[in-house]
Structure 1
């Protein structure tokens, strides 16, 4: 029969363990909720990643957090659901497929809409499982049986139902408004898809002649081509330079038009000339000004960013940037150009195409964010109230201010996109332009009285369907068991960059349609940055692939990854050099558990996470430490009496009682940390307990008691070794699932804890504070102090580990209980407890609290005198500080009595230590 130790490989090899365990968990349906109505429900919605995507560091980080919470609550016996899904990602997906077709010389317009949509579905089927397979690699225990795709029939039906209801409630309307427009894609895009970056540009100063009399106003602009659509110039109402001109007009250069001079306090008097051109059809701020002053809107660009027929004939049909050059030349030729200055400006570009975004007046569909419904409240008001009254709580709490700031300054939401891939808007038009919003064409036709209809070509913004996920994924509008059990979900784990775009909109839509909040907590984590704090970006060549950290990657393929796709290819040598310096031999394989523990350790409540790959190395060593400790424990307990039988005689030594008490403290600390989303503190508590206390101290102490203790003492120590180890594995499982499952399978039976088939569903440890033994803790602390002092003496004397020497302890006879432990801990040949150390011996002496220690070795008197002098100086410095603290005016009267007493006791201890050290030095001399 194979023993437990033989079942365990001699060294930790993560790849084989990961490959074996995940399929077993999944096939056993451990990821599914129990649907036990008597158990508390715990649910997390996975922020649906784009179907086009691959796992990046941000995904790996927040999935570590989500899986840790899910596994923790599952072990607590909760009815636990982590619901997965993927997003159809309208723009991103359409771009990918269009590029593939372009490589074949085909455009979507050549194919037609139905054929193109079919092509996108084909591509989704081929590549859509990439990110889900990578999630499996990370150990994500999501309920794959409930996985959704936002374009599934069920999800699409919910999207249509929500759109129709909002329209019928007067909360969706169609209108001409200014939107972010990508001329290459030919669609409106959301703010999230626009990146504004600082670029080198120019500020053109242009003279606008006064219409009445001589003179001119000089306007400063960064976009001279838009002047063709100017409808006014404006100045600050309190600007004395121009007050007399308000109400007059100027002649628009290059155009046969006069435009008014208006006053508006939007103008910054200190910027440029203090005179600003107003182009409502091509600038968001100007659009607002135009609304305030009832100005006309003159659009001078086509949807592909060419000059249209509203402009002078000389510029019609020109690309916007070509027109800019021609207009500047014509202004200069006409004497209108005052000067050109170099200027740094923020240029908005579509993150998908890199195109400069154009504010464009187009017909779009909008959700009215401030309009009230039959309850007398707007969807925005409802979303504010549930956060204000605490139904939804942000962690950290200061993110609530970001949420409030956006909602209190919100604009109507543009939800239409001029794409083919996505949820087609459920609206139909007759020949006269009348619109019929309906759940399907038959319903629309009935509303239209049988007239011929044409469906709206536009699709909905991806964020519209994503905003419905908290209830659409649970079966709404039907009253399903899942909807009852898991709405609201327990926590949303997300980055701060989508609080506006996703979090707020989920709260709006869920409260409006269900009367419930979508989630109780929003845990907002920072973005994962590189070790220097810079944003990870493929264009910058500093991206880390979490799968590369798991499996390892050689230097050459790593270089190829990082230098391919750079926005500025000329940076490739620089990126390569930096990569070679950072990873001279590539990235070694760390395994999933080490990577997850690294993420957990970095999950402090901050705005960014600087990822240090060296931490992975440290936590891979932690995995090895845990593995080797388990093998040691198995060697010492398997086949031996561990006191698991009822009535077994057990005599727990101070070391056993100490580690059992420390385990209770660790259980309490980890549980509190997970309950408050402090994964960094959970990881810290686990690491310190496992490495520093269980492995480095208790196992060493257990070696002594299992060799020299009575049968009852040995039995108690073996029981403690295996029971504490088994609990460690349960405590660590949410963060490091694979290694803990592999070890638990062989440890749990020996600990009498194999009540279930998998650690995933084992009981979460519950701290029992009655088992904390302060006396045992004090005893171990005293032993540690003696061991450290003896080790320091050995180090200062330059003794090799192989050289074992006698140790003398000056103190009470009770110190003898430490003798057997100090022998291996300090590499000693023997330990003697004496009332007083020999006065005529030159051997080195140290202090451990009030205990004097002597290593019985021949010494170099000069070196020992130097060592004692340093120790005396340190002690005098500490004593001086403590005396100064006590002598500070008012301290003794104002400070709590127990602190004053503690300080006085420390002074007395330091005085005693100093006297003994000075005596040793005097004796030596």
Structure 2
């Protein structure tokens, strides 16, 4: 027998066990028509650093699902991968190069991408190794990277197909502009924060009059882009301005006064300045009224030539100077301090986002969203929890065209080639050769040369590569009906955060119906957001995540997994505290110690079922029924994606039922154990390990291998999940009642400081736990349990369970019971009786002393003397009865 270490060493075990799994090839998957597939696509972590605690949560849940399905007999396929994360990665590399005195622009695109690829390879390896440290049982040969050649070809094909079908177009729109990364952002990549600022009231002179109209704005620097003044059609305060024009201060541009119902009459003065190039709502108004659009910002948020003498200055510096000049022109009416308003920040660079008119590539979304809405509405795709359907429908029904182009170098380059000066002088093609042919044909210039066409410098939004992942990972874009996608698609479960419901989940659903005519997955499980002590979302950008590898190094992967899973709940946020990992480690140690105890037993060479105690026999009967009850309850929660509840059921089952009760009951006072006891204990322990495996794969596999010598075909990871069986509910009720009694007795021992080795006697009028008396006797260390109908008061410890009253005697030799004249059981306290005998002896002595005194007898009335003699007889009778009690025991 192997020597079992006293202390469980997760670092040694986890490394050894993962190597064991990899060597056994247990993670791989191939299409098999005889087995049902179960597929999960990993949300690919960004290659911008190490895994944060949110990734640990997400991937632990996926591993739990895949291990459970594997043991249930499914052909499991978990596809891992990483995401190139265009904006975030480019920003990281740009900053890294800056520290080295290098510039992206000076070195050029090719050399810059060399550095990014070097970064990406390094961080891909870091992330994949961290996933392995966590215990992720992915099919590593299927590892994907969203910038891989295969996925890139799929993305190019999708772009071309959508363009040719009229879904993709190029146009001028007001977009969110990241002034640091110098690229557009989607609405979902802008984080709005409440800020205190100033509201400036500025007056504009009415053309041809000496009168003015006052507007209120938080951004006076955009005055150079004003092309109209607007008020609500129902606002009678401004009816006198109908069909008039005003003069923009500083610029002296004459602009019209218009009316639009968009205007909030209660904001500011109720009169707005319209700057179409720098506000999406202003642009919408501008389109309706055919206003001029003036862009005043450069890419870095400095003012361009439209800003006159402020050209080249930073926007916030311009704000200060413009207000100063407006004061000089006497155009400032007042300034409201501490005005609350929201400012948008880039999720990736944390810079203040600028809305800016820009020529970009867009994907029409309204039509392709219809199937995606219906699939969730009719339950074809299930959300867990379902509350997120409301958010989903709200976004989908108001969906806008998707700005898919980004002004970056790192990413999938847009397959567009320009050959002329007009905006329409371009072709869409998969490479230069095809583009040249298309350009010659479109331009009707057969002499057009390859050096006369230039490829689009922009790249596609990162999410444009991710939205087709469930299809592209099986090469379904190029070969829609190949063997792999026909077998594995649609995938089963998607585990993700609700914060990318629109970024990714909704778009994948649209892509699934658009390209595969089928949903991409059946279920979406939304994790809660993990927050820090300040209630902030834990993220890479805030750098507020604990170092996950340090946690695993300190506590072990299983401990971290269990700690997190005990706290998580579908769709609910929770605060991270390192103490949860300590709880996981304590649980690991509890299981390891239980294993060590079993392995330390000396087994009798010959023994059978008859060679066990009554309490042990009851323990096996109860534990078998308890196991099947727990299995049923565990799976009931598990299939509803209530992983924390299923784990808590298992946690209590192992800690309390198995360790605190079962092992304690079957514990023998001698050195040897019955072979029957040992084999059956191992049998149920192995069943426990099966339930435990999805949550604590390393520890469970290690014990599984040590408790019996096994071949590679008998690894726990590929063992069969326990099958459900019937159970006797009455046995569970009786045993639970017995454990409640034991718990009460143990509490009394603790409170009264009665040593456990001192035996007690229990008196009760309950019979429900009678079949478990032997268990109570052993666990509570009682000498006997006495059934009584109606106890009398005595010097006992008592407790109540339900309607049943229990009495506990500290010392068994001082307690017995008798039948009283009503045939009821009365508890007798020996010490109390002896005290009473002594009392009556003293009383008798005093009475007799009086009766033997002649002077007393002659002096008292006859009536009193008779009373004293009667008292003597009564006392003698009481002493005789009490002594009789003692003689009968």
CA distance, structure 1, for counterparts of residue 800 and residue 304 of structure 2:
90
Change (3 A) 1:36 1:7: farther
Change (3 A) 1:273 1:832: closer
Are residue 601 (structure 1) and residue 566 (structure 2) matched? Answer: yes
Describe the SS at the equivalent of 1:160. helix
Aligned residue among 304, 323, 338 for 2:318: 323
Aligned residue among 758, 761, 767 for 2:724: 767
**1:53-81, Cα deviation, whole Å (9 max, x unpaired):** 31101100011100000110011110111
Aligned residue among 681, 696, 701 for 1:741: 701
Are residue 798 (structure 1) and residue 753 (structure 2) matched? Answer: yes
Q: Tell me, yes or no, if the aligned pair for 2:601 and 2:671 is still in contact at 8 Å.
A: no
**Cα deviation, residue 187, structure 1:** 1.5
TM-score calculated relative to the size of structure 1? 0.82
CA distance, structure 1, for counterparts of residue 32 and residue 543 of structure 2:
49
Q: Tell me, yes or no, if the aligned pair for 1:72 and 1:734 is still in contact at 8 Å.
A: yes
Instruction: Map 1:43-58; keep pairs closer than 5 Å.
Output: 43-58=39-54
What is the count of residue pairs matched by the alignment?
A: 799
CA distance, structure 2, for counterparts of residue 668 and residue 834 of structure 1:
36
Q: Tell me, yes or no, if the aligned pair for 1:417 and 1:461 is still in contact at 8 Å.
A: yes
**Cα deviation, residue 137, structure 1:** 0.9
**1:284-318, Cα deviation, whole Å (9 max, x unpaired):** 1111111222222111122232222334x322233
CA distance, structure 1, for counterparts of residue 245 and residue 607 of structure 2:
98
CA distance, structure 2, for counterparts of residue 316 and residue 532 of structure 1:
42
Describe the SS at the equivalent of 2:349. coil
| Aligned match of 1:497 | 499
CA distance, structure 2, for counterparts of residue 299 and residue 384 of structure 1:
37
Q: Tell me, yes or no, if the aligned pair for 2:216 and 2:269 is still in contact at 8 Å.
A: yes
Aligned residue among 397, 405, 408 for 2:394: 405
| Aligned match of 2:779 | 825
**Cα deviation, residue 634, structure 1:** 2.4
Instruction: Map 1:192-591; keep pairs closer than 5 Å.
Output: 192-311=188-307, 313-342=308-337, 343-370=339-366, 378-433=367-422, 434-449=425-440, 450=446, 451=448, 452-476=452-476, 477-478=478-479, 479-531=481-533, 533-536=535-538, 542-551=544-553, 589-591=554-556
CA distance, structure 2, for counterparts of residue 732 and residue 92 of structure 1:
38
CA distance, structure 2, for counterparts of residue 631 and residue 465 of structure 1:
51
Are residue 722 (structure 1) and residue 670 (structure 2) matched? Answer: no
Deviating above 6 A after TM superposition, structure 1's stretches of 4 or more consecutive aligned residues are 538-541, 641-644, 647-652, 706-709, 812-817
| Aligned match of 2:630 | 666
CA distance, structure 2, for counterparts of residue 840 and residue 113 of structure 1:
94
Describe the SS at the equivalent of 1:128. helix
Q: Tell me, yes or no, if the aligned pair for 2:618 and 2:775 is still in contact at 8 Å.
A: no
Change (3 A) 1:834 1:856: farther
Change (3 A) 1:638 1:40: farther
| Aligned match of 1:586 | none
**Cα deviation, residue 665, structure 1:** 1.3
Instruction: Map 1:694-705; keep pairs closer than 5 Å.
Output: 694-703=658-667
| Aligned match of 1:25 | 21
CA distance, structure 2, for counterparts of residue 216 and residue 385 of structure 1:
53
Deviates more, 1:810-819 or 1:716-725: 810-819
Q: Tell me, yes or no, if the aligned pair for 2:200 and 2:335 is still in contact at 8 Å.
A: yes
| Aligned match of 2:600 | 635
| Aligned match of 1:884 | none
**Cα deviation, residue 755, structure 1:** 8.6
**Cα deviation, residue 416, structure 1:** 0.7
TM-score calculated relative to the size of structure 2? 0.85
**Cα deviation, residue 92, structure 1:** 1.5
**Cα deviation, residue 824, structure 1:** 4.1
Q: Tell me, yes or no, if the aligned pair for 1:748 and 1:754 is still in contact at 8 Å.
A: no
CA distance, structure 1, for counterparts of residue 613 and residue 161 of structure 2:
70
Are residue 684 (structure 1) and residue 673 (structure 2) matched? Answer: no
Q: Which runs of 5+ in 2 are unaligned?
A: 441-445, 815-889
**1:443-466, Cα deviation, whole Å (9 max, x unpaired):** 111112252311111111111001
CA distance, structure 1, for counterparts of residue 203 and residue 767 of structure 2:
100
Q: Tell me, yes or no, if the aligned pair for 1:642 and 1:716 is still in contact at 8 Å.
A: yes
| Aligned match of 1:375 | none
Q: Tell me, yes or no, if the aligned pair for 2:564 and 2:581 is still in contact at 8 Å.
A: no
**Cα deviation, residue 731, structure 1:** 0.2
Aligned residue among 754, 761, 775 for 1:807: 761
CA distance, structure 1, for counterparts of residue 68 and residue 632 of structure 2:
14
Change (3 A) 1:275 1:290: same
Change (3 A) 1:515 1:748: farther
Aligned residue among 133, 140, 157 for 2:136: 140
**Cα deviation, residue 661, structure 1:** 0.8
Are residue 617 (structure 1) and residue 573 (structure 2) matched? Answer: no
Describe the SS at the equivalent of 2:713. coil
Aligned residue among 657, 671, 682 for 2:621: 657
Q: Tell me, yes or no, if the aligned pair for 1:844 and 1:859 is still in contact at 8 Å.
A: no
Change (3 A) 1:640 1:783: farther
| Aligned match of 2:100 | 104
**Cα deviation, residue 693, structure 1:** 0.9
**Cα deviation, residue 532, structure 1:** 6.0
**Cα deviation, residue 441, structure 1:** 1.2
CA distance, structure 2, for counterparts of residue 130 and residue 368 of structure 1:
37
Q: Tell me, yes or no, if the aligned pair for 1:650 and 1:716 is still in contact at 8 Å.
A: no
CA distance, structure 2, for counterparts of residue 118 and residue 648 of structure 1:
74
Change (3 A) 1:814 1:39: closer
Q: Tell me, yes or no, if the aligned pair for 2:348 and 2:541 is still in contact at 8 Å.
A: no
Describe the SS at the equivalent of 2:237. coil
**1:638-677, Cα deviation, whole Å (9 max, x unpaired):** 6756879xx9999983321111111011111222222221
- Give 1 or 2 for the bigger CA radius of gyration: 2
Q: Which runs of 5+ in 1 are unaligned?
A: 371-377, 552-588, 861-925
**1:736-794, Cα deviation, whole Å (9 max, x unpaired):** 11110111112355xxx97933111011112202xx12342243234324323433443
CA distance, structure 2, for counterparts of residue 297 and residue 10 of structure 1:
76
Change (3 A) 1:782 1:362: closer
